[in-house]
Amino acid sequence: MAEAIIKVENLKKHFPIQNPIPFKKSNQSVKAVDGVSFEVFRGETLGIVGESGCGKSTMARLINQLVRPTDGKVLFKGQDLAVMGTKEIRDSRKSIQMVFQNPYASLDPRKTIKQLIAEPLEIHKVGDKRSRLKRVHELLEVVGLNSYHADRYPHEFSGGQRQRINIARALALNPDVIICDEPVSALDVSVQAQVINLLKDLQKKFSLTYIFISHDLNVVRYMCDRIAVMYLGKIVEIGSYNEIYQNPLHPYTKALLSAVPKESPYEKKERILLKGDVPSPVHPPSGCHFHQRCPQAMECCKSTVPELKQNGTNQRVACHLY
C-alpha cells in the first residue's frame, strides 16, 4: 500500500462562543470538527462530502494550519504540524497549497495576474525576478492560459479562467498536496467540466495528491479515489468511491446519495427524505449525532457514540447497525 502523506489523528477544533456578558469567559463552543482521524495516501484524491455546516471547510483549514486545532495531530510526512511554530508552518505550506471556492473573491482585484502568481514565489523567496517571471509564463501555459494574459487584471477573466489562475498560484511552489475547497461549485456545468479535466491532467503530470471538498456528489464520484462522508464534525463513513456509491452502509450516506437529482425524466427514484435540519454543533445530540434524523435509529443510538469500525476491505463506518 502507498505511503500515507497526511495522517490526521483525533483532530478537534472547537470555536468558543462569545459570552454575552463582557469580559466573562465563555464555556460554550461550536464543535466544528470533533475527533476526526483519517489518512491521505500519496498520489490519490480523497473527497470530503457533507452538508453545509458539517465541518468540511474547517477540516481543510486545519490540515493547512490556517486555523490551529484545539486537539489532535496533523502528521505531514511524519511531522506533526499542530505543534510547529509559525515559521515552520510557513515552510510546510510550500508543500500544502489550497484552491478556494469563490474565484471572484479569492484574487486581489488590484494586482495583475503576473503579480498574483508570483506572490507565493516572493513570499517563499524562490529565485530572482527574472526566473519568477519565467515561471509565471510557464504556469499560465500549464493551466491552459497564454503568457500574454500575465499583465491583465482579474476582472478581465471569466469565472473558469479565474479558477485556472488560482490553480496556477497553487502550483507555483511545486506542492505535494493541493486542498481544493469546492473549486467548481461556483461554475457552469461546461466550465466545471473544463476545470475538472485540468485538475485531473495536472495530477497525472505532477503526481499531486488532492484533498477535494465538495457537496456535489457527482463531481466527487468522478474525481476521487476515496471518499469520506462527514456529519456534524465527525466522519460517519469512509471508503473507496466504488464502496461508497455501490454499497453505502451508513443511513446518512444512503440519504445523501438518494438526494442526487435524477439523470433522466424516466428514472424513478426512491428518496430518503431527511426530516429537519442539521442540529446545532453547539449542542450536538447525545450518542450518535445523526439519531434524531435517522430512519433506522435504535435505542442504543441515543446514548452511545458509535466508533468508526472496519467493514469490508477499506470501508469504515460509524454506525451501531454494523
Partner 1 sequence: MSDFLLEVEDLEVHFRSSSSVAKAVNGVSFTLNKKETLGIVGESGSGKSVTATALLRLIPNPPGKIAGGRILFEGKDILALSEKEMRSIRGNEISMIFQDPMTSLNPVFTVGNQIIESIRTHRKVSKKEAKKAAIEMLQLVGIPEAEKRMDMYPHEFSGGMRQRVMIAIALACNPKLLIADEPTTALDVTVQAQILDLMRHLQDTIDTSIIMITHDLGVVWEMCDQVIVMYAGNTVESGDVKTIFDRPLHPYTWGLLDSQITSDSENEEKLSTIPGTPPDLREPIPGCHFADRCPYAQEVCFSKKPELIEVEEGHTVSCHFQTKEKRLKRKEKAYHG
Q: Residue numbers of the site for partner 1 (CB under 8 A)?
A: 51-53, 158-159, 188-194, 196-197, 200, 215-219, 221-223, 241, 245, 255-256, 258-267, 271, 273-274, 276-278
DSSP notation for 234-297: EEEEEEEHHHHHHS--SHHHHHHHHTSPPSSTT------PPPS-PPPSSSPPSSSTTTTT-TT-
Q: Which is nearer to partner 1, 87 or 283 (CB)?
A: 283
Q: In angstroms, give the least distance from the CB of 278 to partner 1.
A: 8
Q: In angstroms, give the least distance from the CB of 225 to partner 1.
A: 8
Q: In angstroms, give the least distance from the CB of 315 to partner 1.
A: 18
H or E segment to which residue 87 belongs = helix 86-93
H or E segment to which residue 123 belongs = helix 113-123
Q: In angstroms, give the least distance from the CB of 216 to partner 1.
A: 8
Positive or negative, the CA dihedral 200, 113, 159, 105 is positive
Q: In angstroms, give the least distance from the CB of 136 to partner 1.
A: 23
Q: Which is nearer to partner 1, 15 or 241 (CB)?
A: 241
d(CA 211, CA 213): 7
Q: Which is nearer to partner 1, 128 or 267 (CB)?
A: 267
The three three-digit cell numbers of residue 83, written as one number? 505543534
Q: Which is nearer to partner 1, 159 or 285 (CB)?
A: 159
Classify residue 249 by burial, with Cβ atoms within 10 Å: 0-12, 13-18, 19+: buried
The neighbouring-strand residues paired with 237 are 229, 317
**Identity of the amino acid at 117:** I
d(CA 285, CA 10): 20
Q: In angstroms, give the least distance from the CB of 257 to partner 1.
A: 9
Q: Which is nearer to partner 1, 120 or 248 (CB)?
A: 248
Contacts of 91 (CB under 8 A, 6+ apart): none
Q: In angstroms, give the least distance from the CB of 26 to partner 1.
A: 19
Q: Which is nearer to partner 1, 84 or 245 (CB)?
A: 245
Q: Which is nearer to partner 1, 84 or 278 (CB)?
A: 278
Q: Which is nearer to partner 1, 126 or 193 (CB)?
A: 193
Q: In angstroms, give the least distance from the CB of 81 to partner 1.
A: 30
Pairing mode, strands 29-41 and 45-49: unpaired
d(CA 122, CA 126): 6
d(CA 164, CA 194): 10
